[in-house]
C-alpha cells in the first residue's frame, strides 16, 4: 500500500509565527509532491509543488523535499488568520500519469 502520512493535527500557531507542516511517504518511486490548501466546504487549491531535493520558496511558503528520508514539508512564514485551513500533502509516481496519493490532511488554525 503506497501511503502518504501527515503529522497529526490540529496545529495552532499565533499570528506572525511560522507554521510547519510535515509529510512522509512510503513509495520511493514517488517523484512529485504537492501541497494543497482546503477551506471548509471548498475544493483543494494548489499552493506549491516540488520534485527536486531541497527547498522551493514562493512568497511566504517554502516547500522542502528530502527523498533520502522520504520527507516533505511546508513552512508558512508570517502566518495569517486567512491561512487557517486544512493542508493536504500528495505525491505522485513517474509512470502514474498524475495519479495522486493524498495524506489525511492537517488542520491549521492561526489565532490573532
Partner 1 sequence: DGGITQSPKYLFRKEGQNVTLSCEQNLNHDAMYWYRQDPGQGLRLIYYSQIVNDFQKGDIAEGYSVSREKKESFPLTVTSAQKNPTAFYLCASIDRPRGTDTQYFGPGTRLTVL
Instruction: List interacting residues with partner 1 (CB under 8 A).
Output: 4, 6, 32, 34, 42-46, 49, 51, 88, 90, 92, 96-100, 102-105
Give least dist CB 34 to partner 1, A: 7
Write the DSSP string, 41-108: TS--EEEEEE-SSEEEEETTEEEEEETTTTEEEEEESS--GGG-EEEEEEEEETTSTT-EEE---EEE
Based on CB atoms, which residue is closest to partner 1, 43 or 82? 43
Based on CB atoms, which residue is closest to partner 1, 10 or 14? 10
Based on CB atoms, which residue is closest to partner 1, 17 or 70? 70
Based on CB atoms, which residue is closest to partner 1, 14 or 59? 59
Give least dist CB 53 to partner 1, A: 15
Give least dist CB 23 to partner 1, A: 11
Give the N- to C-terminal CA distance of the chain in Å, as an integer: 40
The closest alpha carbon to 53, from 77, 69, 37, 75, belongs to 69
Amino acid at each position: 500500500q503506497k501511503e502518504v502520512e501527515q503529522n497529526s493535527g490540529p496545529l495552532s500557531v499565533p499570528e506572525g509565527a511560522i507554521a510547519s507542516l510535515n509529510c512522509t511517504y512510503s513509495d520511493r518511486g514517488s517523484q512529485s509532491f504537492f501541497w494543497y490548501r482546503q477551506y471548509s466546504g471548498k475544493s483543494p487549491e494548489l499552493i506549491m509543488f516540488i520534485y527536486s531535493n531541497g527547498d522551493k520558496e514562493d512568497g511566504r511558503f517554502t516547500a522542502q523535499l528530502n527523498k533520502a528520508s522520504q520527507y516533505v514539508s511546508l513552512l508558512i512564514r508570517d502566518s495569517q488568520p486567512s491561512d487557517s485551513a486544512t493542508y493536504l500533502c500528495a505525491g505522485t509516481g513517474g509512470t502514474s500519469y498524475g495519479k495522486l496519493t493524498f495524506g489525511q490532511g492537517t488542520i491549521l488554525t492561526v489565532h490573532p
